[in-house]
Chains A and B, each alone.
Chain A
Amino acid sequence: MKYFDELKRSMEMLAEHPDTIFIGQAVEYAGTAMTNTLKDIPSNKLLEMPVCEDLQMGITNGLAVDGKIPVSIFPRWNFLLLGANQIINHLDKIPLISDYKTKVIIRTSIGSQRPLHPQDQHIGDYTEAFNSMCSTVDIVRLDQPEDIFPAYVQALNRQDNKSTILVEWGDYYNEK
């Protein structure tokens, strides 16, 4: 299986769980490479958001506090930075400051550079930076196609009250 196919298969696996909901920009509408991995997800599972990352990530946390399993999608690390408060100060700290059981799946990517290079504000890789800031949230970089499905199964089924950020490589959609 190729990189894209594994991502699409993973999204469809997540969608089978009754508590999951996909939230983000370009989940209902076309607009990013990630959109195509969601094209066979039932529309009632997709929640298009305004471009407002702190709001999106806070809504994600609120959905999780009330028992949902949100799959929150940020097309690039650079965009995810705008939701960092809700990840570092809230999602990551909820297990430390409360007994709430929250499970969030965050999907982001290192922006592709080929064939078009989007320049320096769209290709950031903050995997290590977020690793160093998070105490409970796991950050998993998806380097190979065979890494993808098991990582999403783990993110969905984990029972350790932790959330997961899964990091894609935009270039691998065409190259692996």
Chain B
Amino acid sequence: MNKEQLINFEEDIANTFNSGKIKAPVHLYSGNEQEMINIFKNIDSNDWVLCTWRSHYKCLLKGVPPDILKARIVEGKSISLNFPEYKIFSSAIVTGILPISVGIGLSIKLSGGKNWVYCFVGDMTSETGSFNECYKYVVNHDLPVKFIIEDNGKSVCTDTKKTWNTNELTYFNKNDKHIYFYQYETKWPHAGAGKRVQF
């Protein structure tokens, strides 16, 4: 999918949500389309993608057909989209996917596989103890896991850096075998599309 298609999909979901046809929270992306397209150029169909509650672009770029994805979102599943046939695993619990991604990476290594696990997290999650444990385990055991930190500057509505009383995130602009950091600004609120429901 190209940038325009990604934007159009999310706009369609926003309109559907605002019209009251989705009886569950949605978390929308915007402003990071080209970053995501570039990241997914390196992700093979047999690689794993682990997602948080904000995952529509990841699902589309991993190959989930837009009509199937939209149907699942309209069912109310936006915050925990799981597609085993596309090797997509999502959790709506902060830090939940971190050690699960490590376990999948370990399983691949034990089986002699060649695929990778791409675990997408937000900036607040990247500052947690769980992230540090998981990153350390992955690096020290050389597991096929890469953490993608997506910094939109906030956790729900909270300023991540302010809560940790720091001017710079721990993994700011880090880019190596097991970690990639990027920043973006979104036009959407944390949840919903700016109308009707505040989750």
A-contact bits for B75-102, CB 8 A (1 contact / 0 none): 0010010101000010101011011111
Q: Hey, which chain B residues are within 8 Å of A153, CB to CB?
A: none
Known: A52-B133, A55-B137, A99-B84. A66 touches B103 (CB 8 A): yes
Q: A58-B100, A62-B106, A98-B82 are in contact. List 4 more A-B contacts (CB 8 A).
A: A55-B99, A85-B93, A90-B91, A98-B80
Give Cα A98 to B137, complex, Å: 27
B-contact bits for A44-67, CB 8 A (1 contact / 0 none): 000000101011111111111111
22 inter-chain pairs at a CB distance below 8 angstroms, sorted by A residue, are: A21-B110, A50-B133, A50-B137, A52-B133, A55-B99, A55-B102, A58-B96, A58-B98, A59-B100, A59-B102, A59-B137, A62-B99, A63-B104, A63-B106, A66-B103, A68-B110, A85-B93, A85-B95, A89-B91, A89-B96, A90-B93, A97-B80
Q: How far is the CB of A61 from chain B (nearest CB, A)?
A: 5
Q: Hey, which chain A residues are within 8 Å of B111, CB to CB?
A: 66
Q: How far is the CB of B120 from chain A (nearest CB, A)?
A: 15
Q: Hey, which chain B residues are within 8 Å of A58, CB to CB?
A: 96, 98-100, 102-103, 134
Q: Which of B102-132 contact A (CB under 8 A)?
A: 102-108, 110-111, 130
Give Cα A100 to B107, complex, Å: 15
Number of interface residues of A (CB under 8 A): 27
- Residues on B lying within 8 angstroms of A by beta carbon are 48, 77, 80, 82, 84, 89, 91, 93, 95-96, 98-108, 110-111, 130, 133-134, 137
Q: How far is the CB of B160 from chain A (nearest CB, A)?
A: 21
Partner of A62 from B84, B95, B101, B133 at Cβ < 8 Å: B101
Q: Which of A111-144 contact B (CB under 8 A)?
A: none
Partner of B104 from A54, A62, A89 at Cβ < 8 Å: A62
Closest chain B residue to A56, Cβ basis: B99
Q: Which of A90-107 contact B (CB under 8 A)?
A: 90, 97-100
Known: A55-B137, A68-B107, A99-B84. A62 touches B93 (CB 8 A): no
Q: Would you call the interface of chain A mostly helix, strand, loop, or mixed?
A: helix
Contact indicator A61/B82 (Cβ below 8 Å)? no
Give Cα A97 to B81, complex, Å: 8
Closest 4 CB pairs of A and B: A62-B103, A58-B99, A98-B82, A66-B107
Contact indicator B96/A62 (Cβ below 8 Å)? no
Q: How far is the CB of A81 from chain B (nearest CB, A)?
A: 16
Known: A68-B107, A85-B93. A61 touches B100 (CB 8 A): yes
Q: Hey, which chain A residues are within 8 Å of B48, CB to CB?
A: 66
Q: Hey, which chain B residues are within 8 Å of A109, CB to CB?
A: none
Give Cα A90 to B100, complex, Å: 9
Contact indicator B102/A98 (Cβ below 8 Å)? no
The reply to whether the CB of A86 lies closer than 8 angstroms to some CB of chain B is yes
Give Cα A58 to B101, complex, Å: 8
Q: How far is the CB of A126 from chain B (nearest CB, A)?
A: 20
Q: How far is the CB of A50 from chain B (nearest CB, A)?
A: 8
